[in-house]
Amino acid sequence: MKEKLEQIKEEAFKQIAESKELSKLNDVRVNFLGKKGELTAVLKGMKNVSAEDRPKIGQLVNETRSIIETKLEETKKALEEAELELRLKRETIDVTLPASKPITGHAHPNQVVLEEVEDIFRSMGYEVCDGPEIEYDYYNFEALNIPANHPAKDEQDTFYINKDILLRTQTSPVQVRVMEKGKLPIKMIAPGRVFRSDEVDATHSPSFHQIEGMVIDKGITFADLKGTLLEFSKRLFGPETKIKLRPHHFPFTEPSAEVDVSCFKCGGKGCRFCKGEGWIEILGCGMVHPRVLEMSGIDPEEYSGFAFGVGLERITLLKYEIDDMRLLYENDIRFLNQF
């Protein structure tokens, strides 16, 4: 019996030593000390032992059980410590490693050009004004001398909320709102998003940006308009820039003109960029129509003014030599990172 117990103990020790995980160790415990374990089997066999030997054998069994339990406990503790050690090592943060830098973006090319244009006009004493993108038909058309059946309304077809409310096709309504306030003189630009029901292609989009400007004061003449636009063009495209005014028609100005700037690539000699013309069309302008002044409560006998409008995207595309307007709206990082 003593030999049998010794054998069990050695086998248990061997299996404990081979256990590299806590779950394995638990299996060993069940195999030897559990209800159906080997040591329990020995106790069950005690009925064959003589009465006088029973206490001695019982004590031996208990001793063996205790030895195995102690060994199990020791090994369990060692395994737990090793595991903790491993976890600590694995989860250690090396604070001396260089930090990963957050990705920083930059202003969109449209925004860069917008701020540049705003700076130029602010430096000439202009105020930057804002207005609603959802606008009354009255402010967008009627008050700008474009009555219901005017053909210009076709060219600026837009999105209607209802018969009287629409998405503005130009930022001119902001000018009407400023004129209505009746504070004179006025020297303002109105940059902002505008809408047209255009199909998307390389040069059109149903949503784009305009910067419109207006000056109203006593004694404002066409010469003031030309001087202002020349200064603006030089600041934006370079000091050598010349401008050319071609007669045109807009309902809200009279006389009206379209403005070309000398090509800033070839200086006016003609190149691929200006399609051999030497000139590039950039904006529309004119003297504010007396009727527009009247409708806003300004006396055209006493006051006069000029207005102009330029497409923000038009300038951005020119300045950065981008040949497709859609690229400005797709927000492809690979494209935007080039600026």
Please state the closest distance from residue 146 (CB atom) to Zn ion, in A: 35
Please state the closest distance from residue 321 (CB atom) to Zn ion, in A: 11
| 297 within 8 A of 180, measured Cβ to Cβ | yes
Which residue among 1, 266, 327, 336 contacts Zn ion (CB under 5 A)? 266
Number of CB atoms found within 10 A of residue 307's CB: 25
Please state the closest distance from residue 267 (CB atom) to Zn ion, in A: 8
- Cβ closest to Zn ion, residue 267 vs residue 300: 267
User: In 3-state terms, what secondary structure has residue 197?
Assistant: coil
Please state the closest distance from residue 187 (CB atom) to Zn ion, in A: 33
Q: Is 254 annotated as a binding residue?
A: yes
Query: Is residue 274 part of the contact set for Zn ion (CB under 5 A)?
Result: yes
Query: Is residue 143 part of the contact set for Zn ion (CB under 5 A)?
Result: no
Query: Is residue 248 part of the contact set for Zn ion (CB under 5 A)?
Result: no
Residues 6+ apart with CB under 8 A from 24: 18
Query: Is residue 319 part of the contact set for Zn ion (CB under 5 A)?
Result: no
CA 31/CA 19 separation, integer angstroms:
13
Radius of gyration of the chain (CA): 44
Query: Is residue 263 part of the contact set for Zn ion (CB under 5 A)?
Result: yes
User: In 3-state terms, what secondary structure has residue 116?
Assistant: helix
CA 335 to chain centre: 14
Query: Is residue 230 part of the contact set for Zn ion (CB under 5 A)?
Result: no
CA dihedral 162, 165, 166, 168 (to 10 degrees): 170
CA 155/CA 198 separation, integer angstroms:
10
Q: Segment near Zn ion (CB under 5 A), from 129-137, 155-163, 213-221, 258-266?
A: 258-266
Residues that constitute the known binding site: 254
Residues that constitute the known binding site for Mg(2+): 254
Interface residue list for Zn ion (CB under 5 A) = 263, 265-266, 271, 273-274
